Copies of this chain bind each other. A is one copy, B any other.
Amino acid sequence: METNKNDRILLAHGGGGQLTDDLIRRHILPILGNDTLAELGDSASLNLTSSSVCFTTDSYVVKPLFFNGGDIGKLAVCGTVNDLAVAGAKPVALALSLIIEDGFEFESLRKILAGISRAARQNNVDIVTGDTKTVEAGAADKIFINTAGIGVKLDGVEPGMEKITVGDKIIINGTIGDHGLTIISQREGIKFQSQLQSDCAGLAGLTCELFKSISGIKFMRDPTRGGLAATLNEISRGCGLSIEIRQADIPVNPAVQAAADMLGFDVLTVANEGKFVAIVPPESAEDCLDICRNHPLGKKASIIGRVVETRDMPLVELITKIGGKRIVQMPYGRELPRIC
């Protein structure tokens, strides 16, 4: 069916005049609206509960826009929530900025905004301010989204790589590779017997519970682009210590493993969007695991390794299922473009 011109966003919707006003009041506010956003100021006034805050930003260019387990909108909210969550903050407010290609369907925008609204509600954050730009057909690929976020730091929580010491345990809250392999298989039109599903989720509920319950958590990071391999290499370099992980202890959905094998990806380098890596002292590891496993987003949590002495230089080593050892390198970067 041919869509009507009125069903599409036009370049003029970004001009700052009547049409921009219409786009915001008729199409955006009814879905995302809250008292602060409804003021339509160029900035939002916030009275935070503390002056100690975390601040983050992420742009999303994921392709396809809609995928099994989420969409670019849900991803934008969860990704920014997670950056604040792993820093030991409670996410409070998000700013939403859209860059839309002339001709993009209102129907798709509505679906994306609904995804944003749902994810914001689930994660207890408000979209408090925003911006909308349009560009000519061909000057962007449908829609790009930026979310910036403010979180209030949890009292007494100061995670930092410098706190990591030999013997600390490495925990992940579930299976790896789900997001990246879902995206790549949908993009390439590959169908697997078991359908893959992105793990896209906001982690702040679980991380806040962990930080509040376990005082000794050293550091957390979410293994997104570059996967577990990139995150562990960053941590190893950052603290100057080596990391040893056991392949047998890393949870991987069998369908994801099969897809990775078939497509030639190392699942360790594939992006996740609902996972964190936590570095905890050995005496707290089991308590952390218990809290995770009692939470819907941590059912398959696992202690996947430990921090060890460095010999020549900080390295990440994998003990394979058959007992061999291999170095897990920092991925080069070209593996999976536009995964988030």
Interface presence of A130 (CB below 8 A): yes
If the complex has contacts A12-B334, A225-B16, are A55 and B129 also in contact, measured as CB distance less than 8 A? yes
A98 to B139, CA, bound (A): 15
Q: Which residues of B contact A47 (CB under 8 A)?
A: 51-52
Contact of A330 among B21, B86, B149 (CB under 8 A): B21
Picked from B136, B146, B222, B340, the residue with its CB within 8 Å of the CB of A146 is B146
Q: CB-defined interface of A45-84 with B at 8 Å, one 1/0 digit per residue?
A: 1111111111111111100000000000000000000011
Check if A59 sits within 8 Å of B226, measured CB to CB.
no
Whether A224 contacts B59 by the Cβ 8 Å rule is no
- CB pair A332–B133 under 8 Å, yes or no, is no
Complex: A156 Cα to B139 Cα, angstroms: 44
Q: Is the CB of B44 within 8 A of A337?
A: no
The answer to whether B141 and A18 have CB atoms under 8 Å apart is: no
- In this complex, how many residues of chain A approach chain B with their Cβ under 8 Å: the count is 82
Q: Is the CB of A42 within 8 A of B87?
A: yes
A131 at the B interface (CB under 8 A) = yes
**A45 close to B51 (CB less than 8 A):** no
Interface pair B146/A59, CB less than 8 Å apart:
yes
CA distance A93 to B150 in the complex (A): 12
Q: A17-B333, A46-B54, A47-B51 are in contact. Are A87 and B41 (CB under 8 A)?
A: yes
The residues of B that contact A83 with a CB separation of less than 8 Å are 42-43
Which one of B57, B141, B153, B226 contacts A139 once the chains associate, using CB atoms below 8 Å? B141
The number of times this chain is found in the oligomer is 2
Q: Which of A10, A16, A56 has the most CB of B within 10 A?
A: A16
Does A113 lie at the interface of the complex (its beta carbon under 8 Å from any beta carbon of B)?
A: no
A330 touches B99 (CB 8 A): no
Query: Once the chains bind, are B97 and A151 in contact (CB under 8 Å)?
Result: no
CB of A271 within 8 A of chain B? yes
| Interface residue? A173 (CB, 8 A) | no
Q: Is A165 an interface residue (CB 8 A)?
A: no
Q: When each residue 272-310 of chain A gets 1 if its CB lies under 8 Å from chain B and 0 otherwise, what string results? A: 000000000000000000000000000000000000000
Interface string of A317-340 (1 = CB under 8 A from B): 000000000000011111111101
> For A148, what are the chain B residues with a Cβ–Cβ distance below 8 Å?
55, 57, 95, 97, 146, 148
